[in-house]
Amino acid sequence: MAGKRTLLDMMRESKWLFMGLFIGPAILLILIVVVVPMLYSFYLSLTDFNLLNAKNSRFIGIGNYIGLFKDKVFISSFVRTFILMTLTVNLELLFGLFIALLLSKPLKGESLLRTIVMVPMMFPPILVGFQFKWIFNDQAGLLNNLLYSLTGQLHQIPWLIDQPYGFISILIAELWMGTPFMAIILLAGMMSLPKEPFEAADIDGATGIQKFYYITRPMLMPYILIAMAIRSLDISRAYDLVKIMTNGGPAQRTELIWTYVTRLSIVDSKFAMGCAMSFVSVLISFAFTIMIYKQLIAARRGLG
């Protein structure tokens, strides 16, 4: 049957057919699982769809988008998320850089130390949330009991049920969970740096601080920006940790964007408003990602 062409022969002759057969199913899956639900959610954000009265929903245009900027809880949740993201990422960068600098030196048992540093990365956010909920429990928590052992006085600090303490507790949990990631990325960057600039600096008599500021810091900047971008996006969509530790309380004073979106959509049944908030949050995250990407490109150009 020499005249018949097999599918394999056709794939060899046409690269588009070859690409379509392998990439097509993945594209179709993305369309079904991601694109179609996203478009439907955007349509719902233009209606007054309510889970308790779904049949009588009507088209209201950008009414939800106008309304969400009048929602004081949404504004405060957005500001709180931004503050948490800014504090956490910058503190993680400082702690992670310090740990990476220590681990980059020749030490006894350095492999074991690097493994220990990575341990917090192995825990899912839900488990971390339960862990720190127990640590910060005002009645039987580890921290208050430790303070009692050290001072001899009973301390019942309401870590999770008082406004400033609740935010600080979430910040500490995020730091514990994210600092190892920052340290590992920066350590990988340090290990990939060429040795020639440092050898030349040693010959010129440069100090350790001068070598870090003029050589390590600029060459490490692409890794810093990548790590900061990933962690910023992680924190901007934080949900599990806050849900377990404080559930947005007390009185929504630790509410973040996605915990509020979930509460509004599911608990309060205002699904359309929740969809509008989700799209605004995604657009803000997308704009932030583009900004970080431009800084990354600029940092790489600066290295030549």
Residue pLDDT, tens place only, 86-113: 999 999 999 999 999 888 888 787 788 8
Q: Determine what percent of the chain is predicted with pLDDT higher than 90.
A: 33
12 pLDDT above the threshold of 70: no
Q: Tokens 């956490």 correspond to what residue? A: 88
Per-residue pLDDT band at 34 (split at 50, 70, 90)? confident
- State the pLDDT at residue 285: 84
Residues 299, 221 contacting (CB under 8 angstroms)? yes
**pLDDT of 176-234, one tens digit each?**
999 999 999 999 999 888 888 888 988 888 888 888 888 888 889 889 988 998 898 88
For residue 303 the two structure tokens come to 């290295």
Please report the pLDDT score of residue 236 as a whole number: 87
Tens-place pLDDT, residues 13-27: 666 666 667 787 888
**69-302 CATH fold:** MetI-like fold (1.10.3720)
Global pTM value: 0.85
Distance CA 117, CA 97 (A): 13
Confidence of residue 36 (pLDDT cuts 50, 70, 90): very high
